Amino acid sequence: MQFSVEGTLYQRLTVEKCFVVGGQTFGNPPPSEATATFSFLNSMKKKSLRLSSLIAVLALLSGCVTMKQFDEVQMNLDRIAEENRRLTLSNQDGEIERRELAGRVDVLENSNAALVNDTTRLGRALAVALEDVQRLENLNDVLTSESSSRMAAINEENRALLEELSKNRAELQAQEDDLLQLNADLNQREAELAERSQRIQELEGLLASRDAAAEALRAQLAQALLGFADKGLTVEQRNGKVYVSLEAQLLFPSGSTAINADGKQALQDLAQVVSSQSNLEIIVEGHTDTDQLRSSAIPRNNWELSVLRSTAVVEILTGSGVAPEALSAAGRSEYHPVDPDDKARNRRIEIVLAPNLDALFDIIRSE
């Protein structure tokens, strides 16, 4: 029985690949799930050793053992045998349990290895993912920075465009205001132009009427004074005025201011035509030649001679019915000759008849 128990225990320990000496365990420790079984077998080992020691003592003392002692020993042996049988059964159950646990350990170890592999793979994948995340974060930072810079540039560009648009709008508004003002000025100028055009037409009508009246007056005077045409009397119409020129020989003796008979008749005939006209301005101008008059009596010079001759003509005209308010006398001396080489033509009286232009001047002043 001692050999059987020890052999069984040794076999169990060999299977477990574990040695126990003096209460210490060497080799591979049992799985944590078989800890209780291993402790029980260790206890049985100790009991088997004590039993072997007891048998050895009994063998030495067999020569003096009593029946009672033998029976006790036999009972102990039976009890030990029963315990050994029970332990053997328990050992078998433990072996089955150990194998089951070993199978579970293998499964767990395989699972653990798979988990280690998965963990390693996942760790590498995680590292790669972390690198990708870091790379994406860096890229995001770069893009964010570039986006911020771009947005700032776009905002600045938009601000500049808005300022330019506002400036353009202001300029367009100013141009539109200028155009409106120009249009208003143009309308005003058109109105003024139309008014001026109307006034010009009126002026042209008055001038045409003046010219027609002057021409009619010239024709009447020419007809009335036709008998004096060969005596140094001419009638001309220039610039809306009628010029009646009478040479001095027709009117005055040389150096005199007294009008002779032919001159009085010519002036009376002229006065007969002029007195029937209205709105006339009549200027009587006296002209001399370049021969200087030297006298201590009046007239003393050409100026006085030209003036006195013109006033003498005015006296004849007013005495013949011409309104004095229409007349004026002027002396021009020698300074307005009609022909520098013909002194006889330069010694003359010019009667300038012009229509009263008050209506014309009123139109001009209204401008």
Whether residue 16 contacts residue 25, with contact meaning beta carbons closer than 8 Å, is answered with no
The amino acid occupying position 250 is L
Measure the CA–CA gap between 243 and 234, rounded to whole angstroms. Answer: 8
Residue that has been written with the tokens 């002043």 in this structure: 365
CATH number belonging to domain 225-365: 3.30.1330.60
Burial 105-127 (b: 16+ CB within 10 A, else e): beeeeeeeeeeeeeeeeeeeeee
At 241, phi and psi to the nearest 5?
-120, 155
Measure the CA–CA gap between 181 and 187, rounded to whole angstroms. Answer: 10
Please report, for the chain, the start and end positions of each structural domain, with discontinuous segments joined by +: 2-127, 225-365
Contacts of 290 (CB under 8 A, 6+ apart): 334, 337, 343, 346
Measure the CA–CA gap between 246 and 271, rounded to whole angstroms. Answer: 14
Whether residue 285 contacts residue 232, with contact meaning beta carbons closer than 8 Å, is answered with no
Radius of gyration of the chain (CA): 81
What distances in angstroms separate CA 302 from CA 209, 244, 255, 296, 348, one per listed residue? 38, 21, 9, 13, 12
Helical H segments across 225-247, by residue range:
none
At 152, phi and psi to the nearest 5?
-65, -45
**Tens of pLDDT, residue by residue, the chain (367 residues):** 444 444 444 444 444 444 444 444 444 444 444 455 545 555 655 555 555 555 555 554 555 568 888 888 888 888 888 888 888 898 888 889 888 888 888 898 888 888 888 888 888 888 898 988 999 988 888 888 887 888 888 888 899 999 999 999 999 999 999 999 999 999 998 888 888 888 788 878 777 777 777 787 778 878 877 777 778 888 888 888 889 999 888 898 887 899 999 899 999 988 998 888 777 889 999 999 988 887 778 888 999 999 999 999 999 999 999 999 999 999 999 999 999 888 888 999 999 988 776 554 554 555 5
17 CB-side CA count, 13 A: 6
Q: Is the peptide bond before 299 cis (omega within 30 degrees of 0)?
A: yes
Tell me the pTM.
Answer: 0.46
How crowded is residue 141: how many other Cβ atoms within 10 Å of its Cβ? 10
Tell me which DSSP letter residue 292 carries.
P
Measure the CA–CA gap between 354 and 279, rounded to whole angstroms. Answer: 9
Measure the CA–CA gap between 98 and 80, rounded to whole angstroms. Answer: 25
The two counts, helices (H) then strands (E), for the chain are 8, 7
